[in-house]
């Protein structure tokens, strides 16, 4: 499957592999700035795992061996991006002063979820 896809308006192409990698990098940069408290540590670990796996699973999907393999790996991307939203919500509760940053990252995780959902829709 090609790494570049067209957005819904059909005009502009973007690299989903690059976008998911940048998202993982943004998650890493964000968690580096969080205080390592007993509450934050497990949340940070979960967020890093979910947030960085979106891109890793997308790259696996990009190299899929069959359409079924591709769909399975894209569904994992979707689940991981949704899980990332959850951990960002928990971190925003634990760190109210960082709520805006969590919301910004959560918005990107949600957009990725929508993209993966649209990829999984049956083609007509």
pLDDT tens profile 35-64: 999 999 999 999 999 999 999 999 999 999
Does the residue 49 lie in any domain? yes
Encoded tokens for 76? 């994992």
Is pLDDT above 60 for 84? yes
Q: Domain range spanning residue 112? A: 16-119
Determine, yes or no, domain membership for 115: yes
Would you say 86 and 54 are in contact if contact means Cβ atoms under 8 Å apart?
no
- pLDDT for the residue numbered 121: 87
Residue 7 inside a domain? The answer is: no
Residue 53 domain-assigned (yes or no): yes
Specify the CATH number for the domain of residue 102: 1.20.1440.60
Report d(CA 3, CA 26) in Å as an integer: 20
| Residue 9 forms part of a structural domain | no
- Report phi then psi at 7, rounded to 5: -80, 170
User: Residue 5: inside a domain, yes or no?
Assistant: no
68, pLDDT greater than 70: yes
User: How many Å apart are CA 77 and CA 74, to the nearest integer?
Assistant: 5
Chain CA centroid to CA 91, Å: 16
**What is the value of pTM for the model shown?**
0.86
Total of domains in the chain: 1
Domain assignment of residue 34, yes or no: yes
Q: In the predicted model, is pLDDT for residue 79 greater than 90?
A: yes
pLDDT tier at 1 (50, 70, 90 boundaries)? very low
* pLDDT band (50, 70, 90) for residue 122: confident
15 phi/psi in degrees, rounded to 5: -95, 105
């Amino acid at each position: 499957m090609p790494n570049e896809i067209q957005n819904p308006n059909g005009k502009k192409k973007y690299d989903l592999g690059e976008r998911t990698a940048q998202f993982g990098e943004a998650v890493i940069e964000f968690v580096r700035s969080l205080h390592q408290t007993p509450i934050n540590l497990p949340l940070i670990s979960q967020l890093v795992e979910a947030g960085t796996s979106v891109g890793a699973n997308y790259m696996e999907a990009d190299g899929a061996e069959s359409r079924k393999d591709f769909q399975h790996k894209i569904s994992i991307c979707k689940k991981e991006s949704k899980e990332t939203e959850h951990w960002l919500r928990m971190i925003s509760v634990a760190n109210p002063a960082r709520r805006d940053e969590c919301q910004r990252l959560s918005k990107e995780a949600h957009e990725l979820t929508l993209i993966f959902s649209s990829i999984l829709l049956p083609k007509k």
